[in-house]
């Protein structure tokens, strides 16, 4: 069926031509300019609703069409106006067109959203159950079931707000969920728990400040949709990786139902010296495949927005596993994404972005290209090139694994660090050489084209998979609460339950679990690169074995602050101490990769590797698949630059022992009259600093434990 004929134009006398830019709805104090891109539409109706979004008041055809943009100016419209679009054009799925003016559509550039989506068959452009499936045409009005767009007043008084501008080498990411972090916090007022305002509360901000993290990385807050199959099961898309709009903060996390609440939260975090990083999902939308609903892009210009097989554009390329893939090689889609990023960076003042399934954004027709259209557009942008850019460097598409493959200026999640560190502490064979690479910023992946160690974003756990407590408590996933018969989620987790599956009263096992947690947290925060800590790991949060809690808007995911016992408080103090050490000693966060070469001026090497006998590692040591203990000496006297920084001369020795048994590790030689100061022993979490250990003396390293020694050549004993 086709609706390619233009309907009669019903131009209201008060409606003016307006401008084709900027895209979206822009209030200028006297009226609103509406502009919508669609390359193949025949006409566009602007639909005005009452303030609740429930009653449609009138429909007005946009009068002008310039450079594939439909536009008009409504002089009597104000900020707060609620609206949507109905777009006329051909309904020819076999040709890639799915226009259906019976379906009310969100504005892709809407900066405010009113109402929630209510799942109904009327939301679909085709008639569900029809023998022609998605080739059929549905004439029911979807407006009663759709959220609506709202015109905003962008004015906000930021006062003295300044972005913290944390240097990369000092950055410590803290991945968190706005609701999950605050929902059960006893010191946050009940009415603002689970909201942006809750995150801005002094109890939340003070905790983050005392912990020492520099940058909160928020799981998606772009307006998103709860999948119908989850709603049918009484569940929700808790993580939020199902965006339908890239400009509006989702107001389900708002206590006041205002945009200003999010801005106030950013300002409060900035005041505390904490950056705000957004996890963004520009690789797909909530409209799914050919059997999905028509909510926005599909009904505005399906052929432009989505990638489709050239030989059969009825269907969608599905590099995301969600049904569709946004076409970020199309100029207008690139514009949409970069306009969105600039809006958040400038108007909302966020400090950076983590890009979900980022290779999709760089995939051209010939495959992944680190100089592809989107990445080039970001690289040359005077705003976006200056914020923190972090890629999740893998997806399901061809050539989808790209760790180390992004261009200079980008940091990347490093799953090689995650998997190697987990496997090493679990006691797997042959991990010593790989471990050496990972704790020195994975130079094998990132040391090229002038990239720096910070390009490796190191993590042990993230929102996806086991959290840290469960990593040492479960061998198998336990996702029964998700309603998929435990078939969802990863099965290969490099986890080890230390002898018993799940909770136990066995004191010895619980002690080992806590030490393993400290081992991995210490490895994370004492390694070169940029560390990312998962919220809750610092005080032993459990998800009861669920490694795919994407649909668990419940106690499974929320941080249970009241349940933090004394043992977990000690773990939090341990993490705080690790972060403080990282900040204190520049050698733990170098801005250049280690070379292992002799510094002729200082007469030392920047890094030296030792075996337990106190001798430098040999090829035979590295090749020994049974070896599970090594030391790495990082010498602060091997200067990176001529600029001296406090603590830069300090040398540190990191010792890692993944054996079950105690290892007598002979401390390397140094300068007469000096001694090693033991800073960290994961078998002694409450260790006081200042214990001196002489050179060439053996130290009994407990089985499965990590040590950190320091040596300050600038001070006498």
Per the structure block, which two tokens stand in for 115?
């109402």
Phi/psi region, residue 542 (left: phi>0; alpha: psi -120 to 50; beta: rest), is beta
Q: Assess contact for 535 and 177: CB atoms under 8 A.
A: yes
User: Residues 6 or more apart from 361 whose CB is under 8 A from it?
Assistant: 282, 283, 328, 337, 355, 372, 374, 375
Residues 6+ apart with CB under 8 A from 445: 403, 404, 414, 416, 456
pLDDT at 697: 85
Instruction: Note whether residue 547 is domain-resident.
Output: yes
pLDDT at residue 89, rounded to an integer: 98
Q: How many CB atoms lie within 10 A of CB 380?
A: 9
Contact 442, 464 (CB under 8 A): no
As a whole number, mean pLDDT of residues 652-656 equals 97
What pLDDT, in 10s, does the model give residues 457-478? 999 999 999 999 999 999 999 9
CATH code: domain of residue 120: 2.60.40.10
563 confidence band (pLDDT: 50, 70, 90): confident
Statement: residue 621 has pLDDT above 50: yes
Residue 8 is assigned to a structural domain of this protein: no
- Tell me how far apart the alpha carbons of residues 705 and 681 are, in angstroms, rounded to a whole number: 7
The reply to whether 550 and 601 lie within a common domain is no
Whole-angstrom distance, CA of residue 271 vs CA of residue 583 = 20
Whether the CB-CB separation of 42 and 5 falls below 8 Å is answered with yes
Q: What is 447-459 written as a DSSP string?
A: -STT--GGGEEEE
171 within some domain: no
Helices 331-342, 373-380: crossing angle, 10 deg rounding: 40
The rounded distance, in Å, linking the Cα atoms of 203 and 211 is: 12
Which three-class secondary structure state does DSSP give residue 45? Answer: strand
| Distance in angstroms (rounded) separating the CA atoms of residues 465 and 487 | 14
Which DSSP string do the residues of 198-260 spell out, in sequence order?
HHHSHHHHHHHHHHT--EEEEPP-B-B---HHHHHTT---SS---BS-SSSBPGGG-SSSSHH
Please report the pLDDT score of residue 1 as a whole number: 44
366 in any annotated domain: yes
Question: pLDDT tens, 399-453?
Answer: 999 999 999 999 999 999 999 999 999 999 999 999 999 999 999 999 999 999 9
Last residue of a domain, one of 587, 603, 632: 587
Compute the average pLDDT of residues 509-517: 97
Q: What are phi and psi of 707, to 5 degrees?
A: -125, 150
pLDDT reported for residue 13: 57
Q: Which of 151, 172, 205 is the last residue of a domain?
A: 151
Confidence of residue 604 (pLDDT cuts 50, 70, 90): confident
- Per-residue pLDDT reduced to its tens digit, 658-667: 999 999 999 9
pLDDT at position 578 is: 98
Query: Across all residues in the chain, what is the average pLDDT?
Result: 94
Residue after which a domain boundary falls, among 133, 151, 169: 151
Closest CA to 81 of 104, 105, 61, 58: 58
Lowest mean pLDDT among 231-235, 337-341, 610-614, 639-643: 639-643
Q: 565 and 614: one domain?
A: no
Q: How confident is the model at residue 228 (pLDDT cuts 50, 70, 90)?
A: very high
DSSP 105: B
* CATH code of the domain containing 523: 3.20.20.80
Q: Give the model confidence (pLDDT) of 380-402 as tens digits.
A: 999 999 999 999 999 999 999 99
Higher-confidence residue: 692 or 184?
184
Measured CA to CA, the distance from residue 327 to residue 338 in angstroms comes to 13
In this predicted structure, the answer to whether residue 2 has a pLDDT above a threshold of 50 is: no
Burial class (CB in 10 A: 0-12, 13-18, 19+), 136: middle
Which segments of 389-442 does DSSP mark as H helices, in order?
415-426, 432-438
The domain that holds 660 is classified in CATH as: 2.60.40.1180
Does 316 map to a domain? yes
pLDDT band at 608 (very low <50, low <70, confident <90, very high): very high
**Contact (Cβ atoms closer than 8 angstroms) between residue 390 and residue 413:** yes
pLDDT level of residue 687 (50, 70, 90 thresholds): confident
One domain for residues 459 and 581: yes
Using pLDDT thresholds of 50, 70 and 90, give the confidence band for residue 245. Answer: very high
Q: Mean of the pLDDT values across residues 700-714? A: 90
Does residue 60 form part of some domain?
Answer: yes
pTM of the entire predicted model: 0.96
CB 145 within 8 A of CB 117: yes
Residues 212 and 351 in one domain: yes
Segments forming the whole domain that contains residue 524: 184-472+495-587
Name 534's bridge partners. Answer: 175
> Length of the chain, please?
717
Is residue 215 domain-shared with residue 357, that is, in the same domain? Answer: yes
Whether 158 contacts 349, CB under 8 Å:
yes
Output the pLDDT for position 649. Answer: 77
pLDDT higher than threshold 70 for residue 313: yes
Q: What is the pLDDT of residues 26-47, one digit of tens each?
A: 999 999 999 999 999 999 999 9
pLDDT at 14: 77
Both 685 and 582 in a single domain? no
pLDDT of residue 506: 97
Residue 59 pLDDT exceeds 70? yes
Provide DSSP, 629-641: EEEEEE-TTS-SS
Closest CA to 413 of 400, 422, 424, 404: 404
List of residues 6+ apart from 519 with CB closer than 8 A: 425, 656, 682, 704, 705, 706
For the annotated catalytic residues, the residue numbers are 356, 392
Question: Would residue 693 count as lying in a domain?
Answer: yes
Residue 9 has pLDDT above 60, yes or no: no
Per-residue model confidence (pLDDT) at position 612: 97
372, 520: one domain: yes
Q: Per-residue confidence at 221, pLDDT binned at 50, 70, 90?
A: very high
Helix (H) or strand (E) holding 33, with range, is strand 32-37
Residues 204 and 72 reside in one and the same domain: no
- Please check whether residue 2 lies inside any domain of the structure: no
Q: Do 104 and 36 fall within a single domain?
A: yes
Would you state the pLDDT for residue 717?
42
Taking only the tens place, the pLDDT of each residue in 369-380 is: 988 899 999 999
b/e map 436-468, b = 16+ CB within 10 Å? bebbbbbbebbbeeebbbbbbbbbbbbbebbbb
Segment 307-313 shows an average pLDDT of: 97
Residue 601 and residue 561 in one domain? no
pLDDT confidence of residue 674: 75
Are 387 and 262 contained in the same domain? yes
Give Cα 322 distance to the centre of its chain. 18
655 & 606 share domain: yes
Mean pLDDT, residues 142-152 taken together:
98
CB count in 10 Å sphere of residue 239: 23
Contacts of 455 (CB under 8 A, 6+ apart): 410, 411, 412, 441, 446, 529, 530
Please count the structural domains in the chain: 3
Q: Which two tokens stand for residue 688?
A: 């006081």
């Amino acid at each position: 069926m086709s609706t390619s004929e233009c309907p009669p134009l019903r131009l209201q006398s008060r409606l003016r031509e307006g401008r084709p830019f900027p895209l979206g709805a822009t209030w200028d104090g006297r009226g609103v300019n509406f502009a919508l891109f669609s390359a193949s539409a025949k006409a566009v109706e602007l639909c005005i609703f009452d303030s609740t979004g429930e009653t449609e008041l009138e429909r007005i055809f946009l009068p002008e069409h310039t450079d594939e943009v439909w536009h008009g100016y409504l002089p009597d419209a104000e900020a707060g106006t609620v609206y949507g679009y109905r777009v006329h054009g051909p309904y020819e799925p076999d040709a890639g067109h799915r226009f259906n003016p019976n379906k009310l559509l969100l504005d892709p550039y809407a900066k405010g959203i009113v109402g929630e989506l209510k799942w109904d068959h009327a939301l679909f452009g085709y008639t569900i159950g029809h023998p022609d499936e998605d080739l059929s045409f549905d004439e029911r009005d979807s407006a009663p079931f759709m959220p609506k767009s709202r015109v905003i007043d962008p004015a906000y008084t930021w006062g003295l707000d300044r972005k913290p501008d944390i240097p990369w080498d000092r950055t410590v990411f803290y991945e968190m969920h706005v609701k999950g972090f605050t929902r059960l916090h006893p010191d946050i007022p009940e009415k603002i728990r689970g909201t942006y305002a809750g995150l801005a509360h002094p109890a939340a901000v003070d905790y983050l400040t005392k912990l020492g993290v520099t940058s909160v990385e928020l799981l998606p807050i772009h307006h998103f949709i709860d999948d119908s199959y989850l709603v049918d099961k009484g569940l929700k898309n808790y993580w939020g990786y199902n965006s339908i709009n890239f400009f509006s903060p989702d107001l389900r996390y708002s206590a006041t139902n205002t945009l200003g609440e999010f801005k106030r939260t950013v300002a409060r975090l900035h005041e505390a010296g904490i950056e705000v990083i957004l996890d963004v999902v520009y690789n797909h939308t909530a409209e799914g495949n050919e059997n999905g609903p028509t909510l926005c892009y599909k009904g505005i210009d399906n052929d432009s927005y989505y990638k489709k097989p050239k030989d059969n554009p009825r269907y969608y390329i599905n590099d995301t596993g969600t049904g569709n893939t946004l076409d970020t090689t199309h100029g207008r889609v690139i514009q949409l994404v970069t306009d969105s990023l600039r809006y958040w960076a400038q108007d909302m003042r966020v400090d950076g972005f983590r890009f979900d399934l980022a290779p999709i954004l760089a995939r051209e027709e010939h495959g992944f290209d680190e100089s592809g259209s989107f990445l080039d557009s970001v690289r040359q942008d005077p705003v976006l090139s200056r914020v923190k850019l972090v890629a999740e460097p893998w997806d399901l598409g061809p050539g989808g694994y790209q760790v180390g493959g992004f261009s200079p200026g980008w940091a990347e999640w490093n799953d090689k660090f995650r998997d190697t560190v987990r496997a090493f502490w679990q006691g797997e064979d042959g991990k010593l050489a790989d471990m050496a690479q990972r704790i020195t910023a994975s130079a094998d992946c990132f040391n090229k084209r002038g990239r720096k160690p910070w390009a490796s974003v190191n993590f042990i756990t993230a929102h996806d998979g086991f959290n840290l407590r469960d990593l040492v408590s479960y061998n198998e996933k336990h996702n029964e609460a998700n309603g998929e018969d435990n078939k969802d989620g990863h099965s290969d987790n490099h986890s080890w339950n230390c002898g018993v599956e799940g909770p136990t009263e066995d004191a010895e096992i619980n002690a080992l679990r806590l030490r393993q947690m400290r081992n991995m947290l210490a490895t994370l925060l004492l390694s070169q690169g940029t560390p990312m800590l998962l919220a809750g790991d610092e005080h032993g949060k459990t998800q009861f074995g669920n490694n795919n809690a994407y649909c668990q808007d419940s106690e499974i995911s929320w941080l249970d602050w009241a349940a933090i016992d004394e043992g977990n408080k000690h773990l939090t103090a341990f993490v705080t101490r690790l972060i403080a050490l990282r900040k204190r000693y520049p050698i733990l966060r170098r801005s250049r990769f280690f070379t292992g070469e002799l510094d002729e001026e200082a007469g030392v090497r920047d890094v030296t590797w030792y075996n337990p006998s106190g001798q430098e590692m040999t090829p035979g040591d590295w090749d020994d698949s049974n070896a599970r203990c090594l030391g790495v000496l990082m010498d602060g006297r091997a200067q990176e630059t001529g600029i001296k920084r406090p603590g830069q001369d300090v040398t540190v020795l990191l010792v890692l022992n993944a054996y079950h048994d105690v290892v007598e590790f002979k401390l390397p030689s140094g300068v007469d009259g000096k001694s090693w100061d033991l800073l960290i022993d994961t078998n002694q979490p409450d260790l006081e600093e200042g214990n001196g250990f002489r050179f060439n003396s053996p130290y009994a390293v407990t089985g499965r434990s990590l040590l950190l020694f320091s040596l300050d050549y600038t001070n006498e004993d």
